[in-house]
Amino acid sequence: MTEQLNSWQWTTLTELLQYRATDQPDQIAYTFLVDGETETVTLTYQQLNQKARIIASKLQSICQPQDRVLLLYQPGLDYISAFFGCLYAGVIAVPAYPPKPDRSLPRLQAIIADTNATVALTTESTLSSLQRFFPQMSDIAPLNWLATDILDYEIEKTWQPHSIDSQTLAFLQYTSGSTSTPKGVMISHHNLLHNLTAIYNYFGHSSESKGVIWLPPYHDMGLIGGVLEPLFGGFPVILMSPLMFVQNPLRWLQTISRYGATTSGGPNFAYDLCVKKVLGKAGLSSPLKLENLDLSSWEVAFNGAEPIYHKVLERFTQTFAQYGFRQEAFYPCYGMAEATLIITGGLKTAPPIFKTVDAIALENHQILEVDQMATNLTANTKTLVGCGQSLLDQKVLIVNPKTLNICEQEKVGEIWVSGPSIGQGYWHKPQETETLFNAYLTTGEGPFLRTGDLGFLENQELFITGRIKDIIIINGRNHYPQDIEWTVEQSHPLIRPSGVAGFSIDIEGEERLVVAVEVERQYWQQIRTWDNGNGSAKTSPKQEVLLSIRRAVSQTHDLQMYKTVLLKPGTLPKTSSGKIQRHACRASFLAGRLGG
């Protein structure tokens, strides 16, 4: 039975943790699977409260209130203690992740420059690993590094409660940077508690709930949905590293089964990876038989953070129904960092809502419904997945981004949102804050957050169609890149899930289509074998993949490819949360660095 919780039982997250530490001191709040399977470490509410005070004591000795403090941890329980240590110290937490010299350093450099952070928290082992690269990392080496896992417990006695209230900033939530440079969204305790309440009520949580989360804790869905929501609801959560999930996606499902989890989820690609792990890359080989897998406890399988494809939902249901999974458990939802996390969600017990529309009309931002029961659905249709309805005390509108008027029914427009979960703006970016967080309709109604996402409402159900900045316009027609990427991904079994980026470039005044595609390691092995032998170019592995892509894009979208770049696994530019960075792909392609 769901117990209704009111966020205003507490005005800050520190009050919330102190309440749990007093009321349920010995209850295990967090279990982390070190190896992704059986090796565990745990943290009770009382232990978390103590560790947070120890870290806060140290921070208070070297920081001023509202200083920005970087959190640079591998996934694990130390990160959670550090986050609350920042809250207890009255400083502003800045979740990030340990940099790699070749990939993630530019993002961290941008965050350091934006926040003027001078202190970085991490573990002793992570710091030891990073110090080897300090000569190459001139921006981060001078930081005041603090290994929180080796602090003296005695310093807890020096901790002084800091005066904060609901409007105090809790942390800066840096955006994924999928279409621009990452910006720090200012999230207050009020924002967090409002959004946590909404998740609790929409997901039907109770003290009997149990979570399993593999999402990275520096990402909004991993931190707020995976770490803070269980604390808010007073129920346990089992955590695992994203790396353990990627190495073997079925570890996720096996953990749900082993612990009898009720709530778990991730982006669309996570469900797709599980299906492909069972069915094989081509979906044709003998399916794996999964012994003792029981998914019947799974009540909320949330799906968000990237486009949701109905075929993936259907394939997952068909594949795992025999193990107790129910389609009604799927919970498509929509949210973003600027709104703390969740913006829309549906009824917990309702199946997903699908809507099939005319794809050509959709390119012109019009909604023309197609009969889903028709036997001859052509390539000129698209089935969209509903992402639920607005939170009760928030407002979602569909607005023409040019005229700033509310769109007519059956028209696609920009999604605008207002309500208590909307963040306070971007850190030290007043102009962008004014433009995106303080938008007004021509009627004067506002302020609203401009999400930059495109969609439409039908019976208050929100359907997402794309992002304004990512739209590809070729020969006067609008194309959503995620549609093209999905087509490419499905065109050949060696193309990696969520491993395609589509964008356009100007060639002598004409927009032309380019796709960058990650292909599995087997492909590169086949190429080496081919190069060492003889044969016709028509049957080379490369030509086979390229031909499959060209044919699928031509048939489905009536588009001709200008260039297809085949990439090795893990080389496509992505955000910290796994979203494709199309703008970075495009820039790398134009600079001749993509795949080079």
Per-residue pLDDT tens over the stretch 447-477? 999 999 999 999 999 999 988 878 887 876 7
CB contact at 8 A, 569 and 521: yes
pLDDT, residue 594, reads 87
Residues paired with residue 473 on neighbouring β-strands, in sequence order: 478
pLDDT band, residue 262 (cuts 50/70/90): very high
Q: Give the count of alpha carbons within 13 A of 231, CB side only.
A: 29
Q: What is the pLDDT of residues 198-230, one digit of tens each?
A: 999 999 999 999 999 999 999 899 999 999 999
Sheet architecture: strand order including 510-519: 495-507, 510-519, 561-567
Q: What is the pLDDT of residues 432-453, one digit of tens each?
A: 999 999 999 999 999 999 999 9
Average of per-residue pLDDT values in the chain:
90
Residue 102 pLDDT > 90, yes or no? no
pLDDT band, residue 558 (cuts 50/70/90): confident
Q: Mean pLDDT check: name the lowest of 192-206, 255-269, 364-378.
A: 364-378
Residue 372 vs residue 563, higher pLDDT: 563
Angle, CA 229 vertex, CA 225 and CA 234 arms, to 5°: 150
- φ, ψ dihedrals at 575, nearest 5°: -80, 175
| pLDDT > 70 in the chain, percent | 92
Angle, CA 122 vertex, CA 120 and CA 123 arms, to 5°: 150
Q: What is the pLDDT of residues 340-351, one digit of tens each?
A: 999 999 989 999
Residue 134 pLDDT > 90, yes or no? no
Write down the pTM of the prediction: 0.85
pLDDT, residue 325, reads 98
pLDDT band, residue 537 (cuts 50/70/90): very low
Residue 2 pLDDT > 80, yes or no? no
Q: Measuring CA to CA, how many Å separate 157 from each of 46, 58, 452?
A: 15, 11, 48
Residue 257 pLDDT > 80, yes or no? yes
pLDDT, residue 388, reads 96
Residue 3 pLDDT > 80, yes or no? no
Q: Which two tokens stand for residue 315?
A: 């394939």
Q: Using the Cα atoms of residue 276, residue 282, residue 283 and residue 289 in order, give the sign of their dihedral.
A: negative
CB contact at 8 A, 354 and 372: yes
CB contact at 8 A, 384 and 465: yes
Q: What is the pLDDT of residues 377-397, one digit of tens each?
A: 555 788 999 999 998 899 999
Residue 7 pLDDT > 60, yes or no? no
CB contact at 8 A, 427 and 184: yes
pLDDT band, residue 1 (cuts 50/70/90): very low
Q: How far apart (Å, rounded) are the C-alpha atoms in residues 168 and 11?
A: 10
pLDDT band, residue 5 (cuts 50/70/90): low
pLDDT, residue 531, reads 67
Beta strands at 211-213 and 263-266: parallel, antiparallel or unpaired: parallel
Which of 288-302, 512-526, 549-563 has the highest average model confidence (pLDDT)?
288-302
48's CB contacts (< 8 A; 6+ apart) are 17, 21, 29, 30, 80, 81, 84
pLDDT, residue 322, reads 95
| pLDDT > 90 in the chain, percent | 67
Residue 214, SS3? Answer: coil
Residue 402 pLDDT > 50, yes or no? yes
Domains of the chain: 21-263 (3.40.50.12780), 337-431+444-469 (2.30.38.10), 471-590 (3.30.300.30)
Residue 178 pLDDT > 80, yes or no? no
